[in-house]
Amino acid sequence: MTGIDVVYACVGLGALCAAVLPTALAKRPLSLPMVFLAAGFLVFLLPFDVLPDLDPVRHRGLVEHLTEVCVVIALMGAGLAINRAPGLRAWGTTWRLLGLAMPLTIAVTAAAAGWLLGWPPAVALLVAAALAPTDPVLAAEVRVGEPTDEDDDEDEVRFALTSEAGLNDGLAFPFVLAAIALTTASATGWSTEGLWHWVWSDVLVRSAVGVLVGIAVGRLLGWMFFQASWKALRLSEHREGFVALAATFTAYGLTELLHGYGFLAVFIAACTIRGAERGHRYHRVMHAFTDQIERLLTAVILFLVGGFIADGGLAALTWRGALLGVVLFLLIRPAVGWVVQLRGKAVGKERAAIAVFGIRGIGSFFYLAYALGEADFAAPARELWAVVTFTVLLSVFVHGIAATPVTARLDGSDRTPSPE
């Protein structure tokens, strides 16, 4: 038996489970991420000498690119699924979560990390920024479903969490870059010029590039898919789902080449393509394809995360690091998420669900891997990986157990009695 044989077997069984489990677990307090994470943990406890090394410090580049691909595909699927047309009022909850909840969460989490763990500002900011964005990959149970013909048929909870996850994965990038700049400046000294460069370049210019490229790519592809006079270009008539990957990587690659935020561009491109012909059934074809690829990648990544934990990935976790994850999970995100929605569109149970279901996941792994490849931070890399992994593990299991009963209760409360 060789290592590659084990990989083949695990990939085959994982792909089969990724197809079967979503339906099998649909009405149970379990989730696909929970199953694959537990499976990876159990397999890597077995006495096999051929299992691969899962050290994210040694294999940082592989972790970065694998998680990067998974996130961008999930962002395309999320953008295609949203039925609600963009607008200031219609997306009011989203703007509150992005403009208020995310910066506040980063600030409070960074302060907590500095106080609990004694980390310098750059390290505390990095972990806070990596853990701040909600995840478009692991939120399947609380995400909007497939595209429909209705302009506005999703409930406020699913819409808010999906749109927030679609946008804040890109908007967390300036804070990660700020952490990198801080740790670099600690050797050269602080400067007002560096602060203004961050505001102008990393916040404004790179975000603008992401938005503009996303809109441009989305409009061009939307015209090509649905309106082109040449039939070969009017791909909606060919019903090829893999075209969604072309849209994903075109938007992402062009934006990154122009030094913009590719995550932001992919989601905006998806929403723009959806808006080109909102009720067309081709959106379902593309969304179904991205959903399948996303499930496969999610299965692989979480299986490996489970194996990493079995191999001692949490050995560097201290009680203070674990407490930071618990505080973010149980206190900071729920409190901030609730407060920013005051006088907003969501009320009562909806507001509570949106505040609580700030799922952490694959995007956090990407940001940490990316930052550790760009600069040397004044904290052991394995401790940072342990804190982030523990927080994601906590989110996977608690949110995975709670998602089905909570959404079922919300769906039941939304139903109006039928006339007799």
Quote the CA–CA distance of 84 and 152 in Å, as a whole number: 5
Tally Cβ neighbours within 10 Å of residue 342: 8
One-character DSSP codes across 241-291: TTHHHHHHHHHHHHHHHTTS-HHHHHHHHHHHHHHHTTT-THHHHHHHHHH
Residue 273 corresponds to which tokens in the numbers above?
């393509």
The reported pLDDT for the residue numbered 418 is 36
The reported pLDDT for the residue numbered 415 is 43
The reported pLDDT for the residue numbered 12 is 81
CA angle 358/361/367 to nearest 5° reads 110
Q: Which residues of the chain fall short of a pLDDT of 70?
A: 1-7, 25-26, 50, 138-141, 145, 148-153, 186-192, 411-420
Residue carrying structure tokens 């701040």: 132
pTM over 0.85: yes
The reported pLDDT for the residue numbered 157 is 86
The reported pLDDT for the residue numbered 175 is 95
Tally Cβ neighbours within 10 Å of residue 77: 30
Residues 6+ apart with CB under 8 A from 119: 113, 127, 378, 379
Encode pLDDT of 265-294 as tens digits. 999 999 999 988 887 888 888 988 898 898
The reported pLDDT for the residue numbered 383 is 95
The reported pLDDT for the residue numbered 141 is 66
